[in-house]
Amino acid sequence: MTQGNGATIRANDTSNPPHDVPRYDPQALRRFATALLTAAGVRDDIAHDTADVLVDADLMGHTTHGLALLPAYLQQLADGAMRKSGEPDIVRRAGACETWDADRLPGPWLTLRALERARALASSQGTGTIAIRRSHHIACLAVYAMRAAEQGVMGLVYCSDPSGASVAPFGAVTPVFTPNPLAAGIPTSADPILLDISASYTTNGMTTRLFNAREMLPHPWVQDAQGAPTRDPAVLFDEPRGTLLPLGGIEAGHKGFALALMIEAMTSALAGHGRADAPQNWGASVFVQVLDPAAFGGLDAFRAQMDWLVRACHDATPRRGVSRVRLPGERAMALYREQSAKGVALYPGIMPALETWATRLAASASSPPPQPLSSD
């Protein structure tokens, strides 16, 4: 989602950092991130939850949507574009549904509150849905999916940014949408199934990172201004600018286009505020829904069905070149455990940027920057 200074960040990429980068104790990172946010004037509980979501994203390998976001968040706070405290206004309540106006409250804290409220509604009514207008950026959607599934419920989180446009509709070269990510957490008897995908082939966060590193995309996931697909992210920065391709690309992008339209309907349209209002500031429209299996066929029966599917997928004969079928979220959960034990590997540049903010905010005295544990 695009911030006021022109930087562009999108959800949600999962990628391994380089092998030779330093690792940091995750708890030390949580303390440091919390200290930076509180030094910026953020209310304690909001700072704590925001730091937790960002570090959890790095633990899961979502490296463009972990602490890499924190400098941008701090700049938004300094500019007055993100609120430091407050509560969302309840625009409407109707049964198991609520609509909130967040007036630019920090997205990670806000989305956790929406997940809690949806879970409470689901405990009595089987399902709960929160539509949020005017949230700030909500970071890594997979974190919320994981937290819902760990509570034995299905959690759905969709997101769009009505102020941004970088994805063209299928068959066009004019940007209309953001990548429009969606996430789902599905409980099983073991690790949850975690979906975290976008309606576009790739994201602005990843293309920005590759452009700055002068690297190419692995496949032609973007198009230039004339509609020619390419691996070169530079087409998104040169004038006239290209666009991200919808999921499915040139051949089958009607599928990603349809998905983007659905997510726009589930986020901005349901919340009653979106692109038709021409908002200018980096932010989000958000849809959060919880489904409690206990209110349907029962949690045990739900898990039995999902466990069968997990076994069937794992037992499926892999095609040549593939060692084993991997379920969505399987790698993220493995990384979460590994990095919790060995330390979080951060991309070069993240810690120096945070240290600059620590000096600017005079936050180092209360919580000094973490020191690397080792080089991986």
Q: What is the mean pLDDT of residues 119-127?
A: 97
Q: What is the pLDDT of residues 311-356, one digit of tens each?
A: 999 999 999 999 999 999 999 999 999 999 999 999 888 999 999 9
pLDDT at 14: 46
pLDDT at residue number 117:
98
pLDDT, tens digit, 9 for 90 and up, residues 154-206: 999 999 999 999 999 999 999 999 999 999 999 999 999 999 999 999 998 88
Per-residue 3-state assignment (H helix, E strand, C coil) for the chain: CECCCCCECCCCCCCCCCCCCEEECHHHHHHHHHHHHHHCCCCHHHHHHHHHHHHHHHHCCCCCCCHHHHHHHHHHHHHCCCCCCCCCEEEEEECCEEEEECCCCCHHHHHHHHHHHHHHHHHHHCEEEEEEEEECCCCCHHHHHHHHHHCCCEEEEEEECCCCCCECCCCCCCCCECCCEEEEEECCCCCCEEEEEECECCCHHHHHHHHHCCCCCCCCCEECCCCCEECCHHHHCCCCCCEECECCHHHHCHHHHHHHHHHHHHHHHHHCCCHHHCCCCCCEEEEEEEECHHHCCCHHHHHHHHHHHHHHHHHCCCCCCCCCCCCCCHHHHHHHHHHHHHCEECCCCHHHHHHHHHHHHCCCCCCCCCCCCEEC
Structure tokens at 298: 């029962």
Going by C-alpha positions, the residue among 82, 81, 24 that lies closest to residue 50 is: 82
Cβ(220)–Cβ(229) under 8 Å? yes
Residue 287 has pLDDT above 60, yes or no: yes
CA gap 344, 233 in Å, rounded: 28
pLDDT at 367 over 90: no
Rg of the chain (C-alpha set)? 20
pLDDT digits (tens, 9 = 90+) for 207-257: 998 999 899 999 999 999 999 999 999 999 999 999 999 999 999 999 999
Distance CA 303, CA 188 (A): 5
Question: Which residues contact residue 16 at a Cβ distance below 8 angstroms, ignoring those fewer than 6 apart?
Answer: 61, 63, 345
Q: Is the pLDDT of residue 136 over 80?
A: yes
pLDDT of residue 365: 61
**Could you tell me which CATH class the domain 22-305+330-375 is placed in?**
alpha beta
CB of 361 closer than 8 Å to CB of 15: no
Encode 327-349: b = buried (16+ Cβ within 10 Å), e = exposed. Answer: bbbbebbebbeebeeebbbbbee
Q: For the chain, what are the domain ranges?
A: 22-305+330-375
pLDDT in tens, 259-280: 999 999 999 999 999 999 999 9
Share of the chain above pLDDT 90, in %: 88
pLDDT tens profile 7-38 = 333 333 445 555 678 899 999 999 999 999 99
For the segment 193-207, what is each residue's pLDDT rounded down to a tens digit? 999 999 999 998 889
